Structure 1
Amino acid sequence: MHILYNLLVSMLLLVSIPVLLFRLFRETGFGRRLKQSFGFLPEEDLTPVAGKQCIWLHAASVGEIVAASPIVKEIRRQFPARPILVSVVTASGYAMAKRIVPADSIVFFPLDLPWLSRRVVKAILPAAFLLVETELWPNFLYSVRQQNIPVLMVNGRISDRSVGRYRYLGGLLQQMLDTVDRFCMQSTIDAQYIIRLGADPRKVFVTGNTKFDQTYTEALPEEKLALEQELGLDTVGPVVVAGSTHKGEEELLLKAFYQVKKEFPHAGIILAPRDIMRAGEVVQMAREMGFSADKRTVLTKDRVVDVVVLDTIGELGKVYSLGEIVYVGGSLVSHGGHNILEPAAHGKPILVGPHMFNFKDSYALFSGRKACVTVYDGGELAQRMLELLKDSALRETMAAETLKIIGENRGAASKSVEHLQEIMEAKEGKNS
């Protein structure tokens, strides 16, 4: 199975060469990313961590970086002398990590080819490797195992779909799971899933969701005011924020917002498409529907528009603080939803669609305690928006419950680092 996997990865790489070359010439910064993906790490990134018993966290993209951020801060507190390395796969993940993660070095993860993995692991030789959520890479984990480096899965999450997909890996999956020393899972369901896939039950622990511990989205009153002024919203209200939206959702949101404007003429909406490359498309859609609209990066303080389209990376968490109500995208279309904990951290009443299967546990928690409202179509979206905007008492009740849930569920990052300390001490005990 390992040989077949390597053949498939090699074939995919060969097929991708034209696309890689195209991006190399057209996309700013892609050359640096591609070079690192082939294991050539810049000296300034390698020097702070190589051979210095660093702690290495791998988080694929933006969502995983958000989950990793509280863990990095806790590692810094518990292991002040240890350098911290963070690796990512996507450019958006890299930008987010640079923005919110206090690491000594941030790099792009090497392609999962045997010789590349061996080279990078030997060059860095971390004291421990932490994979965030479910970043299982066969060749990399094999190289880590060869160097006797302890491995910890943190904020472990297994979607319903992933359970079926991972089974196709057969013995290769079992090898990867056997490499992991501890599985720190978000929920009981995630723990059951990882055990069903073949993890040793004695290594599996439910530590909670580290995203409850995130603090990078906190906005002081002066920060909030400055952000409102930058977006031209200091004279606008009420404000609706729609985060991580997907194709098919923006039209529903704008139609709902049209109904809101009838009763709140000075209302504004911030739309944050998950793919910021679609920002121009969303602006055009809003204009065609009769709204004044512009991208965040071209707005000036004296320009007031109905629709602000967020086209920046890493800013949405703070932008949530500006909304009277928040809609979290990927949920009125069958994408599986997105993280509701960022707006929850601001104590915001939250609206979502019915497709929240990628965040089933946090969704069940918040909706079960009426801190989150589910809408099933565009008409109900408009109805619920108006209901919340008109009823300040309902908004305050939802906000209070939201903040209560956040407070009750903090602590996953510290629990994860306790497990890290134990597996590192166990390794040191074997070596002494």
Structure 2
Amino acid sequence: MYWIYNICLVAYWLLQIPILIYRLVFEEGFYDRLKQSAGVMPTPTLQQIAYHNAIWVHAASVGEVVAASPIVRELKKKYPDEMVVVSVVTATGHRMAQRIIPEADGHIFFPFDLPVITERIVDIVNPKAIILIETELWPNFLRLAFRKKIPVMMMNGRISSRSMRRYSLIKRFTTRMLCQIRRFCMQSRIDEERIIAMGAQPKRCTITGNTKYDQTYAEVSEEERAALRKEFRFDGKGPIIVAGSTHSGEEEIVLRTFGEILKKYPKARLLLAVREITRAPSVKFAIKHHGYSVLRRSKMGTEEDDGTSPQVVILDTIGELGRLYSLADVVFVGGSFVKVGGHNILEPAAHGKPVIVGPYMFNFQEIFELLESRGVCLMTKSEHEFKETLMDLLSHPDTMKRMGEAALTVVHENQGATERNIKAFEQLVAEAGVKLGGRHES
């Protein structure tokens, strides 16, 4: 089965050549990223992380990086002399990791999962243990770690229904892969049931909760909040709506609804954070078409900025949304009016904000059910229902306050997953005969 996987992987990359050439020409920094993923590390990175017996934490993109942040922070707190290397797949994930996981000794791009490339990078990092965040299953990487007797565990494990369907098509191969992972720390009962159904051994699985409840990078003091309001020119004379991680089709829903809000609250402001930053110019065009004044965050202080307070600010930067949720009166989290499955609703909840979503939240099913049951998160099935719900909340500040207080309570009650994951990790390395506590030169 591995040879079929490798042939498909090579074929995939061959088909990607035109796209890779385009990105090499037009995307800043893509050459260095591609070179590193192909197994050629820049000299400073190589000198920093090579042959130190690191703990390797792999987080694919932004969401996994957020989950990894408290894990790495706790590892470095308990074992300051251990080297911890964080790998990512995407450029946005790499930038986020550098920003919110400064404790890591190195931030690298995950290698293409081809045997020769993977073996080269694994030999360089020379890990004493590997931690996979959420659902990162790379067959050649896992096979190599198993052959080298490197203990591997999954932390903050999450299996979406879509992933379940995909992996069920190759059940035999998936079971073999999962046998190479020694411990599965899953977010919820549903995730544990799914990983077992995919082929994981039940005795290796446990429920430890979601480390995203433990994140602290987005904490904002009242002084910082006041400074952010001033920077974004939100003068406090009208409600602030934050629409986070929106996809194509969702901006139109939000903008039409915002038009209705402006009729009742002329001083209202909208902060619109597009999920894909490259879409910011087209979203700006759509906002102008609706007749609203608009400014992109990345253009503040440039010739495009006339110094006035725009009705809509497009957030087209990386790593700021978590903090900016603190400015909202009400938050809409995107990816939920399209069949993406929703995005992280814990971030606004951690700021004590009422949250509204669309009908598709299957990627965060357990978290959504918990927040919905406590009256923190409201699901709307249509644009009309979304508009009615948002207008109703804005006209009832006491309801919004109660929802915010409930949000903070839920988050505080569910913290502690990081500590449970770290304990499971310590048990794993002890069973594998791996010592923690110091950095080991090769």
Question: How would you bin the TM-score normalised by the shorter chain?
Answer: over 0.9
Q: Which residue number in structure 2 is paired with residue 278 of structure 1? A: 279
Match of 1:326 among 326, 331, 337: 331
Q: How many residues align?
A: 430
Shift of 1:134: 0.7
**Residue by residue, what CA displacement relative to the aligned partner does 1:384-419 show, whole Å, maximum 9, x if unpaired?**
111111111101110111111001100111111111
Further displaced range: 298-307 or 148-157 = 298-307
Following the alignment from structure 2 to structure 1, what is the Cα–Cα distance between the partners of residues 142 and 430? 20
CA distance in 2, matches of 1:334, 1:423: 37
The Cα offsets for residues 354-386 of structure 1, whole Å up to 9 and x where unpaired, read as 110110000000111111111111222121111
Superposed displacement of residue 429, structure 1: 6.8
Q: SS of the counterpart of 2:271?
A: strand
* Contact 1:337-1:356 at 8 Å conserved across structures: yes
**Which amino acid is 2:32 matched to?**
R
1:53 counterpart SS class: coil
Which amino acid counterpart does residue 86 of structure 1 have in structure 2? V
Corresponding residue for 2:76? Answer: 76
Given residue 39 of structure 2, which amino acid in structure 1 is its aligned partner?
A: G
Alignment check: 8 A CA contact 1:23 1:30 kept: yes
Determine if contact 2:171/2:198 at 8 Å carries over to the other structure. Answer: no
Task: Give the whole-Å Cα distance in 2 for the aligned partners of 1:332 and 1:171.
Answer: 35
Work out whether 1:157 is the aligned partner of 2:147.
no
Cα distance in 1 for partners of 2:299, 2:235 equals 17
Shift of 1:141: 0.8
Q: Distance in 2 between matches of 1:288 and 1:5?
A: 47
Query: Displacement, 1:298?
Result: 1.2
Listed one character per residue, the Cα deviations across residues 314-364 of structure 1 (whole Å, up to 9, x for unaligned) are 110001001001000011122111110000000000001111011000000
Which contiguous aligned blocks of 4+ residues in structure 1 show a shift greater than 4 angstroms? none
Identical-pair percentage: 46
**Structure 1 CA distance for aligned equivalents of residues 434 and 280 of structure 2:** 54
| Structure 1 Cα separation of the partners of residues 220 and 375 of structure 2 | 25
| Helix, strand or coil at the partner of 1:215 | coil
Give the Cα–Cα distance (whole angstroms) in 2 for the partners of residues 233 and 144 of structure 1: 51
* 8 Å CA contact 1:279, 1:311 repeated in 2: yes
Look up the equivalent residue of 1:330 and give its one-letter code: G
Tell me the residue number matched to 2:430: 425
- Encode CA deviations 1:43-95: one digit per residue, 9 max, x unaligned: 22233332222111111111110111111111111211101100000011011
In the alignment, structure 1 segments of 5+ residues that lack a partner are none
Q: Secondary structure at the match of 1:326?
A: strand
Instruction: Please tell me whether the aligned partners of residues 48 and 83 of structure 1 are also in contact (alpha carbons under 8 angstroms).
Output: no
**8 A contact 1:210–1:410 mirrored in 2:** yes
1:220-240 superposed Cα distances (whole Å, 9 cap, x missing partner): 122212222221213552100
The TM-score normalised by the length of structure 2 is: 0.95
Counterpart contact for 1:293–1:309, Cα < 8 Å: yes
Alignment of 1:407-426 (within 5 A): 407-426=412-431
TM-score by length of 1: 0.97
CA distance in 2 between partners of 1:71 and 1:236 (Å): 40
Q: Distance in 1 between matches of 2:164 and 2:325?
A: 32
2:21 maps to what in 1? Answer: 21
- Partners of 2:141 and 2:383 lie apart in 1 by 45
Aligned to 2:388: 383
Q: Which one-letter code corresponds to 2:220 in the other structure?
A: A
Change (3 A) 1:429 1:309: closer
Q: 2:224 maps to what in 1?
A: 223
Shift, 1:425, TM fit: 1.2
Between 199-208 and 42-51, the greater mean CA deviation after superposition? 42-51
SS of equivalent residue, structure 2 residue 82: coil
Q: Quick check: 1:137 aligned with 2:138?
A: yes
SS at match of 2:213: helix
Counterpart of 1:174 in 2: which secondary structure?
helix
Measured in 1, the distance between the counterparts of 2:397 and 2:106 equals 45
Displacement of 1:28 after TM fit? Answer: 0.5
> For 1:179, what is the secondary structure of its paired residue?
coil
Q: How does 1:16-415 map to 2 (within 5 A)?
A: 16-101=16-101, 102-300=103-301, 302-415=307-420
Partner secondary structure for residue 241 of structure 1: strand
Q: Distance in 1 between matches of 2:13 and 2:276?
A: 24
Alpha-carbon distance in 1 for matches of 2:272, 2:154: 34
CA deviation after TM superposition for structure 1 residue 299, in Å? 2.5
Q: Indicate conservation of the 8 Å contact 1:261/1:267, yes or no.
A: yes
SS in 1 for 2:65: helix
Using the alignment, how far apart are the partners of 2:129 and 2:276 within structure 1? Answer: 33
Q: Report the CA distance between 1:169 and its aligned residue.
A: 2.6
- Cα distance in 2, alignment partners of residues 323 and 411 from structure 1: 27
Aligned to 2:438: none
Q: 1:409 to 1:235 in 2, by over 3 A?
A: closer
**Contact 2:128 2:434 survives alignment (8 Å):** no
Partner Cα distance (1:429, 1:213) in 2: 27
2:439 aligned partner? none
How far did residue 175 of structure 1 move? Answer: 2.2
Aligned partners of 2:434, 2:38: CA distance in 1, in Å?
A: 35
One-letter identity of the residue aligned with 1:53: N
Paired residue secondary structure (1:48): helix
Q: Is the 8 A contact 1:371 1:398 kept in 2?
A: yes
Q: How many Å separate the matches in 1 of 2:223 and 2:176?
A: 51
Secondary structure in 2 aligned to 1:20?
A: helix
Query: Secondary structure of 2:111's partner?
Result: coil
Q: Is 1:244–1:330's contact at 8 Å kept on the other side of the alignment?
A: yes
Please tell me the residue identity of whatever aligns with 2:323: K
AA of the residue aligned to 2:84: I
How far apart are the structure 2 equivalents of 1:158 and 1:73? 24
What is the SS of the residue equivalent to 1:166?
helix
Report if the CA contact (8 A) 2:171-2:199 is conserved: no
For 1:170 and 1:125, the matched residues in 2 are separated by 30
